[in-house]
Amino acid sequence: MNPFTLYNPTKLIFGTGAVSKIAELVPQKARVLLVYGGGSVKKNGSYEQTVKALGKRKVVEFPGIEPNPEYETCLKAVAVIKKHKLDFILALGGGSVIDACKFIAAAALFKGKNPWKILTSYGAEIKAALPIGTVLTIPATGSEMNQNSVISRRATTEKLAFANDLVFPRFSALDPAFTLTLPDRQISNGVVDAFVHVMEQYCTRPSDAPIQDGFSETILRTLVSEGPKALRKKDDLAVRANIMLSATMALNKLICIGVPEDWSTHLIGHEITALYGIDHAQSLAIVLPKLLKYKSSSKGEKIVQLGKNVFGIEPKPKKAAIEKTIGVIAKFFKKMGVGTEFADYNIAGDAAKEVSENIAKHYGAIGENADITPKDVEKILRL
Ligand code: NZQ
Ligand code: ZN
């Protein structure tokens, strides 16, 4: 196991009625920017409960954050903060709204001329940020309990991430009941995204880390068993609660402690979304099975371990176990209704080439061993 520091300051409030607790957590004198997306929050009770919990505080609303939040929209929110002298940001929605709020929080106090530098410096340029709280409505990204954010800039077909401890939410309220209004596509996206988050931190090489491995395998098993149930039975709150907790635990700094991390599926996936506009989880479902196949020699041990402990696949012979495990993962994505091929999304043109060019532009070599070059990315996407 490698040396590590574990830090996560987000207070997590989970379960029925969680939102009422924010009445005590947002400072009484706070001047709040309440940020949400396209309106789903008004159909599941989350908006109503949040406004009630905020009580008499000064609140300015900023709706209209789009999925894959847009840089230009975030800058408009920064202008609203400055105009009304607001000092607290409450995100109400999914990963897109929360990520947007993290960027807005940093950009509002950014001293430089060009806030896009927050992204191009991977958050290193952030020296201060407004406090953020969140009310989550879709289990998927883990953004409610981490310090990451991903912002898109459609004008330049870019989608870049940043991370900084200053943008950890102060608190996040998670009421699984809000997720009962999710359409199938978003239930599936969330389950697949959380599954891939675990894979990025687990499926590298053995690191003598049984606690992290065991925790990761439990999250994966839970997603594999509960995901399809959520699609079958639309009112099962216990299933929704298990998925919600899985997604948060999949990316809150816990399972990555002391182990190598990959993240190449995400970096490639972000470029696919930036170029072709497909959902984040859809992009991951295209990449992951191909990437595992291509890197099956360096990742082989962990793929076999995963096959055995998550899917009950016989570990020997090794080659067959690897193939079977990758096949079962792809089958799981398809069972969740998320296609694993470019053709499933009508993507025309030479995606493999275009994506690999953008990986070259933004990153160079990626993966836990920094040995996936842009050329490799092209080969992976042609599999
Ligand atoms: O905009 P509204 O009307 O609210 O509708 C949203 C949106 O259309 C809808 N939705 C959310 N909660 C709902 C609901 N519909 C019905 N009932 C509810 N309870 O779902 C749609 C998708 O929402 P979005 O926030 O975009 O989904 P998600 O949480 O999957 O976030 C995706 C974004 O997060 C980034 C992705 O790249 C993408 O931009 N990621 C952020 C990460 C992080 N911060 O750590 C890590 C991830 O790997 C990911 O990259
Ligand atoms: Zn993701």
CATH of domain 194-382: 1.20.1090.10
- Angle at 230 (CA atoms; ends 228, 231), nearest 5 degrees: 65
How crowded is the C-beta side of 324, counted as CA atoms within 13 Å? Answer: 17
Q: Which residue has the tokens 């953004």?
A: 143
pLDDT, residue 259, reads 98
Q: Which atom of ligand 1 is nearest to the CA of 138?
A: 12
The tokens for 37 are: 């997306």
Q: Which residues of the chain have pLDDT under 70?
A: none
The phi and psi torsions of 243 (rounded to 5 degrees) equal -65, -40
Name which residue sits closest to atom 9 of ligand 1, judged by CA: 40
Domain with CATH 1.20.1090.10 in the chain: 194-382
Q: Which atom of ligand 1 is nearest to the CA of 44?
A: 19
Distance from the alpha carbon of residue 94 to the mean position of ligand 1, in angstroms: 4
Identify the CA nearest to 35 among candidates 6, 82, 76, 5: 76
For a mutational test of ligand 1's pocket, the pick from 182, 186, 244, 265, i.e. the residue with the most ligand atoms closer than 8 A to its C-beta, is: 186
For a mutational test of ligand 1's pocket, the pick from 104, 280, 287, i.e. the residue with the most ligand atoms closer than 8 A to its C-beta, is: 280
* pLDDT 10s digits, 111-136: 999 999 999 999 999 999 999 999 99
Q: How far apart are CA 351 and CA 275, in angstroms?
A: 9
Distance from the alpha carbon of residue 138 to the mean position of ligand 1, in angstroms: 7
Q: How far apart are CA 148 and CA 35, in angstroms?
A: 18
The CATH number for 11-177, chosen from 3.30.465.10, 1.10.10.10, 3.40.50.300, 3.40.50.1970, is 3.40.50.1970
Domain with CATH 3.40.50.1970 in the chain: 11-177
Residues having CB closer than 6 A to ligand 1 are: 37-41, 44, 67-68, 93-97, 99, 137-138, 140-143, 146, 148-150, 178-179, 181-182, 186, 189-190, 193, 251, 266, 280
Name which residue sits closest to atom 2 of ligand 1, judged by CA: 38
**pTM of full prediction above 0.95:** yes
Q: Which atom of ligand 1 is nearest to the CA of 151?
A: 39
User: Nearest ligand, CA of residue 143?
Assistant: 1
pLDDT, residue 156, reads 95
The tokens for 289 are: 């099975």
pLDDT, residue 348, reads 81
Identify the CA nearest to 310 among candidates 245, 190, 215, 242: 215
pLDDT, residue 349, reads 84
